[in-house]
Amino acid sequence: MYTGNSSLFAYRCFSEEEAVATSARQQEPADEPPQFPLVFADIQGGPLRPEIRGIVYFLPMDSGTQVYAYVTGLPPYTPGNANTPPIGPHGFHIHSGGSCAPGDPANPFQDAGDHWNPTNQPHGNHAGDFPPLFSNDGVAFLSFYTDKFTPTEVVGKTIIIHENPDDFRTQPSGNSGKRLACGVIVQSQTRTCTAGHIGPQ
């Protein structure tokens, strides 16, 4: 039986027009939860995989963040061998740089820098270490909770999708290969969200 104190969060995000309409409703005695700016990253494929598109949301949860990622256009899984790593599942991280300039077409997105690792942890416990993305005919959806940062702390950094799996051991970046896609994490000026607990309290 579930006895923990945690519960799932449900979110609703608004366009500017919807947010205005909602705040007008809040003049009424309604007890709607407070709104906060949406933090997100639009993901675009680079020279090695231009088909990739994606969105990553960073939503406040307890003392950390609930991360949602939806990505399309990933390459098909390709098995590895003794000399070549598999293509997929895909290493997925926050990097410390703030630019998704493609740069060298053969080795793109180097301006995104190394893994974001503000507390100088071994790889596998970096604040920017995410679970890998599994391609389902090119589509991946992932949601997880982390207490290693709040959404606003990662604004201005970048998200990278790699070609190969992350081994969560090799220093400093997990041997996850080339950088297929990138997105800069931004705070929306026009979209807001509300959050509320669902499930056991």
Of 131, 9, 142, 119, give the one whose Cα is nearest residue 63: 9
- Would you count residue 160 as binding Cu ion (CB under 5 A)? yes
- Would you count residue 182 as binding Cu ion (CB under 5 A)? no
Spatial neighbors of 91 by CB under 8 A, at least 6 apart, are 132, 160, 161, 162, 164, 165, 166, 174, 176, 177
- Would you count residue 123 as binding Cu ion (CB under 5 A)? no
Instruction: Output 6 or 170, the one with its CB closest to Cu ion.
Output: 170
Beta carbon of residue 91, minimum distance to Cu ion (angstroms, whole number)? 5
- Would you count residue 69 as binding Cu ion (CB under 5 A)? no
Q: What CA–CA distance (Å, rounded) separates 168 from 32?
A: 41
Spatial neighbors of 85 by CB under 8 A, at least 6 apart, are 164, 165, 175, 177
- Would you count residue 94 as binding Cu ion (CB under 5 A)? no
- Would you count residue 93 as binding Cu ion (CB under 5 A)? yes
Instruction: Output 93 or 148, the one with its CB closest to Cu ion.
Output: 93
Instruction: Output 73 or 128, the one with its CB closest to Cu ion.
Output: 128
Which residues of this chain interact with Cu ion, rule CB under 5 A?
93, 160
